[in-house]
Amino acid sequence: MNRFDPPFTAGVDVGSTQTKAVLLDAGAMIAGTAIIDTGFDVDAAARAVFGQLLTGIGLQADEVRMVAGTGYGRFRIEFGDLQVTEISCHARGAVHLFPDTRTVLDMGGQDTKAIRVAADGGVIDFSMNDKCAAGTGRFLSAAAAVLEMPLDELAAVAATASHPVTISTTCTVFAETEILAWVARGKAINDILLGAHQAIASRSLALLKRVGLQPAITFTGGVSRNSCMVAQLEQLLGSWVQVGEQTPFAGALGAALFARDRLMGLQQAAQP
Amino acid sequence: MTRYAAGIDLGAACTKVIIIDADGQLLARSLEKTGFQPDQAAARCLAQALEDAGLEQGDLSAIISTGFARHLASMRHRAVTELTAATHGARLLFPAAGSVLDLGGQTIKACRFDENAKILAFRLNEKCASGTGSFLERTARIMGVGLEQVDALARQSLHPAPISSVCAVFAESEIISQLMQAVPPQDIMQGALVACVDRALQILRQVGLQDELVLVGGVLRFATAAQLLQQKLACQIRLPGDDMLQFVAALGAARIGIRFGGNVSS
């Protein structure tokens, strides 16, 4: 605990699939992170992940001076002292992690966003697919479900493939049928999975091009943990894609930074 | 010698076979799940229909296939598109038919045609499962309701729960959260049917309404779907009886076999 200096601020990001929290210290150092499955009660998930964050670091709730919430779509949560849109949060978080970031690709459980950002983390332009599950993490979880595999094993299996199949359907519902049809035709699971990763990567590329792709590119959201997706994106883009342990937390990190801004602003205003 | 023809409709969900004679009289019909070996499903389904009709495959003057896997039916003499088949089937059942709306397992198709069954305009859902039978199937599965109970359940609804998502995958999440919020199951089921009908109407309107409209496809086994369409459409609606809803394309394919034989390449 001694490594970090108060006052603390936090960000909570309620995603469609997982809820993430980040704790920052006075110097904007990441003091802790927490992640849980969102489930159906988004407010309960926000409270639970915040509780886990505090327990993990051994803090009381009142020691966190400002909390910002962010979340998705119509379920946008009413958690914390302020709320910020997830586009702003991902942009801010990505630039904080990788200051040379100019384009962010955020791939979550139910949506994928491409965001062009300024050096200060401000949003210049963005594009997202929020009406259709194609090209989102949902596509991968559908593939995992029909192949009866754990989601976190997909990347490792796909990486062993040498002759990926082409998944030609866009719709996730139809893709499930197509995946089963490939299985019935005797295609190897790894080739099918690599095909699924490639299908998603190429959809993201279209989204990235819409906002005007500028290096460096930072990949955030839950799917940034997927090493096969990173490799496919790099191959399509012909450039490095920045990812790290903290990129799944970029939204919560951005929220925490906004909370910290607010706290600093109030403290400055309070000084004589 | 009497001529017979078979129509085989290899749909995404089910394979249907119809055998008719030269007068268009129905001799046999058969249905089974398409599965992942459409050619085998077609062969089994045809064998069953032949047995029921008391015929041999050699008695058939034409075997016409249709449906998304029509080119996989190896015994076919000729393949025709689902739209062409449905158009001929609709006109055989309803001589004044002017358009068809087909609500299938994975497709929604609308087409308008003239008195010679020549297609004037058509529209398909193509890339998206929104509003298709597979969406209803998934909804029923999440709710733990058998497909045969869907209609009876939806009928009890007084306040259908609207679904705001277009995407079938997102709609599924929306339905799960409705269930968690204790929205009555009948209202969720009816809401899902309303969503399907609204999507079909969008596609139909792009083609243009034309009397009489024949409704076909497995989704219409849910009588509520047909009622909702009736409420929202001003034109004359025809619904094939005798459980023929899923067989109209197969019937049309067989009809094409009788009228044009099986020798035309396609």
B212 preceded by a cis bond (ω within 30 of 0): yes
Over the stretch A246-272, which tens digit does the pLDDT of each residue have?
999 999 999 999 999 999 999 888 887
Taking residues A216-225, report their average pLDDT: 96
Domains A8-92+249-270 and A101-243 belong to one CATH topology: yes
Instruction: List the structure tokens of A13.
Output: 């990001």
- CA-to-CA separations, B91 to B4, B116, B256, in angstroms, rounded: 19, 9, 11
Residue B124 burial by Cβ neighbours in a 10 Å radius (0-12, 13-18, 19+): middle
Distance from CA of B48 to the nearest CA of A (A): 24
| Predicted complex: ipTM over 0.85 | no
pTM: 0.81
Give chain A's mean pLDDT.
91
Which pLDDT score is estimated for A177? 84
CA A243 to CA A220: how far, in whole Å?
Answer: 7
Residues of chain A neighbouring B129 (CB-CB closer than 8 A): 171-174
pLDDT of residue A74: 41
Q: Tell me the C-alpha distance between A226 and B77, whole Å.
A: 49
Task: Give per-residue pLDDT as tens, A178-213.
Answer: 898 888 888 999 999 999 999 999 999 999 999 998
Rounded distance between C-alpha atoms, residue B135 and residue B107, angstroms: 11
Instruction: Give CA–CA dist B117/A184, Å, rounded.
Output: 37
- Record: contact A173-B177, CB cut-off 8 A: no
Q: What does the domain layout of chain A look like in residue ranges? A: 8-92+249-270, 101-243
Residue B99, helix vs strand vs coil: strand
The verdict on a CB contact (< 8 Å) between B129 and A170 is no
State how far the Cα of A162 lies from the Cα of A158, in Å rounded to an integer: 9
Contact at 8 Å (CB) between A255 and A5? no
- Whether residue A131 and residue B127 make contact (CB cut-off 8 A), yes or no, is no
Mean pLDDT, consecutive 10-residue stretches, chain B (266 aa), reads 89 92 94 89 96 95 93 93 94 95 90 92 89 90 91 94 87 85 93 93 91 91 92 91 90 94 59
CATH match for A101-243 among 3.30.420.40, 3.40.1190.20, 2.60.40.1730, 3.40.50.300:
3.30.420.40
Task: Report whether pLDDT(A237) > 80.
Answer: yes
Mutate to test the interface with B, among A173, A177, A178, A185 (most CBs of B within 10 A): A173
Determine which of B166, B170, B175 to mutate to test the interface with A (most A C-beta atoms within 10 Å): B170
What is the residue type of A145? A
Residue B258 distance to chain A (closest CA, Å): 33
- Kindly give the pairing relationship between strand B99-103 and strand B26-33: unpaired
Residue pLDDT, tens place only, A14-27: 988 899 999 999 99
**pLDDT for B171:** 87
Residue closest to A216 by CA, chosen among A92, A94, A33: A94
Confidence of residue A71 (pLDDT cuts 50, 70, 90): confident
Q: What CATH number should be reported for the domain whose range is A8-92+249-270?
A: 3.30.420.40
